[in-house]
Structure 1
């Protein structure tokens, strides 16, 4: 085959023409990247350079392995094939580009290397099939969360053209006999097809040059277009995965709130660049499904517009390619939080993290929402119920607005005393939490937990009136100052107590104490105490023999994973082991573990009024799912707020006769008398 770099075109040598095309493409690419960096530098700094080995592992499994995308196998496999074809063809492109720019280098073109032809052709054909699947999904079998956009069409066409021109070049090589059929199966078949169309072998050289230049021009055009496109995630998503938050739950750094571009961190703005607009976040979001104003996808799209506006201002002239944004200056001057992102969107979130758990590029929606909530809280712009609760938390240390002396009132129904951990040492410090302490619907569960602990011989105590709300909800509502106050008060109380381990009733308390009270387990404030949830302690007691099942429970149940125990902390198996140990038959709901459907209480939503026009509360949706399981009589929970929300949902859905809601600890207590051993230590 002729050398494309040494062949002449319009009186110009091929290498010079390639230099011109490459210079234009890389200039446009570099220009846009420089402007993007300028915009990101305007944002608040944030350190995302810690734990590099762990970050590289995330990138390896989720960029090159496409781990999250493969959770939806059909489209995941198609995307995996397209991605790996892209990797191979990018390598081939840069090899060919170098060879074309410097035609006298003593190296062959990539497509001249026989052993490279086979994997590239196989990937090329598979990727072409995958591309057709992706196109059919977008334009024929379009899910509601996916849009038909001009950008998507351009990107699909460019990828298709890239694959077709490569395979066409291989076919022309096969016509000339350069590649053996075994190494170029697709090329050999295309060569025969070309011959069948009447193309003479003598024309193979011209066909090859045409395909080679079309391929190189397509890639260079793609390179120039991509950073201006709304599908720039092809370029930026790998960096979004690499710089994902390693803090459990991805909590936003402390700040006074965000309303303008400069108030957000660079990583928060980076969400806009890496978003693939696939809609998985919308499909996972319980409040979006219920008809609330929030769409996680649309939220990130707002940030795309914010960044696009800043880029239009940053650029000295309008971008020359499609995807440019001429209205950026006016939009950037508009009030972003409040006008573009409406308060109804911000306050709808339950912080359940379903959106983040499903996002294939690890976008961080909840930190964005918390930043904007901080802004609204600083202005007093919030639901009346939220205002009342925040006042109660500040004044009384609990969300119910009741006296601190009434916090341990639930102990009055017990026939044994509970130690005060401030006055005598205990092995287990039990942080009971607001709902477990004050809500009459939950107090019975709290007493059941105390009886199980007592009968198992645990050396445990509580803080009585010294305990205050742990502050998780205050923080998720955006009241960072109040969270700091509650944390400080609790830490001062913990300094007076003597304990070895901490057990919590509420998963929200579990998360915030374990991870946000000074850096997690081993922090100075917690003196290295391990933090466990009641479900984990019950599992340890049963597995160690401290609890035995005297009366196995003959029942078929399903289990609901609390968001802050499951998605936030990965505690999925301990409660299931407990249910199996009790002799129960566990039937999983379709949405379980990291796909579990939120009850709707988190992020302070439990205190907010429902907005008009919602289709169905998240808790009602979940109750219907559980009630629809054949033979299931009980929905098991391990969160006080879940218990409250689902019991209410049973009434509103009129399903009280077909399903009951029970806490895990109630079932453990009813399963019979435990075996008590002399030692009080439970080994994790």
Structure 2
């Protein structure tokens, strides 16, 4: 009967003592190189600004859930996500296996005489690692096929922000690094199996080895194949000896190079996930009082967390693919912004001593610097942040750099004029504050002034809904709906200013703080229970950013309110619509604040046949107005994001209505309907207009508007 205590694997079987000493010397050298690399990276991060970690326990839990489920990786690319899961879990199990061997050989046995890597434990250990290796190799093979034959466009490192003559245009080094990473891991995996098979053939006459060979199923199959090809024990011993050194040295080289290569993401990516800000982009950071400049000019202005985010990027291209600016040919790829800054940080911050201040400036046209045109191309739609599998926060970084541009006056003249107009009049249209509620003068009922009497619901209207003639029709429609439902509501009238959401995302932090503080004061002086708004941009900043300035208000978008009024029967439908529609998710309602369901529920109540566009919900496409881009003219002859969206909608057979629920969307898409050539084929309508068409109204009372 086989003695189970003999079933094990002697790591250095038949090795001379000098060769064992040499191996350990090489191993410690590799560990030393690794530790030095880690030291260089930590020194780099320490050269960034401080960052206080908050909610660490929740961050760790979320990170572990992300890693275990791979939920951030399988989204919108299931094949790549599943292949990565095979690589990840295979690598983790193999690493644990290697660490287990080291634990016994180098710590427990020499110090305490403890031995556990034998018998049943060893057999199950061998089986698990054999299966893990198969998963690792399968995942790597798919990634090779993907890069070599499938070639998705997002893995093309061509830069939209550079020309071929620019010194940092060519990123072929990244492709070589990707292939080197894949080949190194797959060779380590394959040679591990061949090494295992050669050992089985070499020691085939020993029952404690051969009789349990199928606990290493892959190695056993290869061993039988070797025997079938005529490999005897002596030849197998020679093969095992040479391959042992090749496999071991390759593995040690891999370990040594982790901090210096793409492989570092096995540490930086989980840390980035752990430090993820759930409100990244939705809530932008205030400028610390001690900070001299409003935004980021130098790489040393970045927080250490942001420098780590740069290293966490795996170049997967998902942000590149999702970016609306990139989709229409603007000189922006969120991935390339991050990679440029990473290259810049590595060059400037990994040196023993910091270079001169001028060499730390991240703005400009030099290698690694980010162009002004690139920063102004961003719509701050949050598509990049939302899809990033490793929690890189592109938009906050871009806005921080924009703050410096605004501070220095480096912006489009029209944008600068608009910001001055907002500062002077409190709105982007340059209208008198007294005209903010002029849209209501023809209504047959009085709207309360919330500054003078208590209301249940305070309606924060917003600039476009207040001053744009086309949107004013929608605004009057919503007022009629609330009146019909018996909602006790009121306005701030001229006490309302631009909410500041887009002002802040432009980078004009001083003006934003002025607007936010003024609105918070006006709101705080009123007696109400909650706020409603028809403007998703206002909704986002009041909900997510005003609390940082002392303004804690319960707020909802109108779609949530109207759905409730319909469900309660306070709004009754006199008819339903028999039409085919598609719905565009506004960035600031959908992706920013997860307001996906209420508009769709309303459309269903109205009897509409909803056909989703390919890009919908959290993958919705931007209209192009966000981030202040509605105030910046697009270059002549270029496609606008809104036109790109119209082409997508037009592919829906029999489409009758393109439905929006944002004033800026209505403006952008009605214009795009004409310029994209679809006028007469379908129409753009605000959801409020469809609701108005269906609701049963009482006879309107002949009341005058309160002044």
Which string of whole-angstrom CA distances, capped at 9 and with x for unpartnered residues, describes residues 360-395 of structure 1?
A: 111111011101100000101101121011101111
Judge conservation of contact 1:248–1:568 (CA < 8 Å) in 2.
Answer: no
RMSD of aligned residue pairs (Cα, Å): 2.3
Does residue 605 in structure 1 map to residue 629 in structure 2?
yes
- TM-score normalised over the length of structure 2: 0.88
SS in 2 for 1:278: coil
Residue 307 of structure 2 corresponds to which residue in structure 1? 269
Which string of whole-angstrom CA distances, capped at 9 and with x for unpartnered residues, describes residues 281-335 of structure 1?
A: 11000100101111111101111112211344238xxxxxxxxxxxx96998163
Change (3 A) 1:265 1:88: same
SS in 2 for 1:503: strand
Judge conservation of contact 1:195–1:201 (CA < 8 Å) in 2.
Answer: no
Residue 277 of structure 2 corresponds to which residue in structure 1? 245
Residue 627 of structure 1 corresponds to which residue in structure 2? 650
Q: C-alpha distance in 1, partners of 2:39/2:497?
A: 49
Q: C-alpha distance in 2, partners of 1:412/1:604?
A: 30
Residue 328 of structure 2 corresponds to which residue in structure 1? 290
Equivalent runs, 1:170-189 vs 2, <5 Å: 170-175=196-201, 176=204, 177-178=209-210, 180=212, 182-189=214-221
Does residue 25 in structure 1 map to residue 30 in structure 2?
yes
Task: Show structure 1 runs of 5+ residues with no match.
Answer: 316-327, 677-684
Judge conservation of contact 1:18–1:100 (CA < 8 Å) in 2.
Answer: no
SS in 1 for 2:635: coil
Tell me the matched-pair count: 655
Residue 41 of structure 2 corresponds to which residue in structure 1? 36
Residue 518 of structure 1 corresponds to which residue in structure 2? 547
Residue 123 of structure 2 corresponds to which residue in structure 1? 114
Q: C-alpha distance in 1, partners of 2:370/2:321?
A: 20
Deviation at 1:504, TM superposition (A): 1.0
Equivalent of 2:587 in 549, 554, 563: 563
Judge conservation of contact 2:47–2:349 (CA < 8 Å) in 1.
Answer: no
Does residue 458 in structure 1 map to residue 484 in structure 2?
no
- TM-score normalised over the length of structure 1: 0.91
Judge conservation of contact 2:348–2:360 (CA < 8 Å) in 1.
Answer: no
Task: Show structure 2 runs of 5+ residues with no match.
Answer: 1-7, 158-171, 288-293, 700-707
Change (3 A) 1:472 1:77: same
Does residue 199 in structure 1 map to residue 225 in structure 2?
no
Deviation at 1:407, TM superposition (A): 0.4
Q: C-alpha distance in 2, partners of 1:110/1:207?
A: 25
Q: C-alpha distance in 2, partners of 1:41/1:493?
A: 42
Change (3 A) 1:20 1:77: same
Deviation at 1:268, TM superposition (A): 1.6
Does residue 487 in structure 1 map to residue 525 in structure 2?
no
Judge conservation of contact 1:510–1:533 (CA < 8 Å) in 2.
Answer: yes
Does residue 134 in structure 1 map to residue 143 in structure 2?
yes
Residue 620 of structure 2 corresponds to which residue in structure 1? 596
Change (3 A) 1:450 1:361: same
Q: C-alpha distance in 2, partners of 1:213/1:99?
A: 21
Q: C-alpha distance in 1, partners of 2:575/2:117?
A: 75
Judge conservation of contact 2:282–2:541 (CA < 8 Å) in 1.
Answer: no
Q: C-alpha distance in 2, partners of 1:94/1:42?
A: 33
Change (3 A) 1:416 1:628: same
SS in 1 for 2:10: coil
SS in 2 for 1:518: helix
Deviation at 1:163, TM superposition (A): 1.1
Which string of whole-angstrom CA distances, capped at 9 and with x for unpartnered residues, describes residues 66-102 of structure 1?
A: 1121121111111110111111111112122334435
Q: C-alpha distance in 2, partners of 1:251/1:170?
A: 54
Equivalent of 2:676 in 640, 653, 668: 653
Judge conservation of contact 1:620–1:650 (CA < 8 Å) in 2.
Answer: yes
Equivalent of 1:544 in 559, 568, 573: 568
SS in 2 for 1:532: strand
Residue 682 of structure 1 corresponds to which residue in structure 2? none
Change (3 A) 1:470 1:234: same
Which string of whole-angstrom CA distances, capped at 9 and with x for unpartnered residues, describes residues 589-624 of structure 1?
A: 11100100100000000110112563x210001011
Q: C-alpha distance in 1, partners of 2:118/2:653?
A: 59
SS in 1 for 2:588: coil
Change (3 A) 1:190 1:330: farther
Judge conservation of contact 1:96–1:110 (CA < 8 Å) in 2.
Answer: no
Which string of whole-angstrom CA distances, capped at 9 and with x for unpartnered residues, describes residues 250-270 of structure 1?
A: 544223100111111112211
Residue 434 of structure 2 corresponds to which residue in structure 1? 405
Judge conservation of contact 1:390–1:399 (CA < 8 Å) in 2.
Answer: yes
Residue 4 of structure 2 corresponds to which residue in structure 1? none
Q: C-alpha distance in 1, partners of 2:610/2:542?
A: 30
Equivalent of 2:461 in 420, 426, 432: 432
Q: C-alpha distance in 2, partners of 1:289/1:117?
A: 49
Judge conservation of contact 2:268–2:309 (CA < 8 Å) in 1.
Answer: no
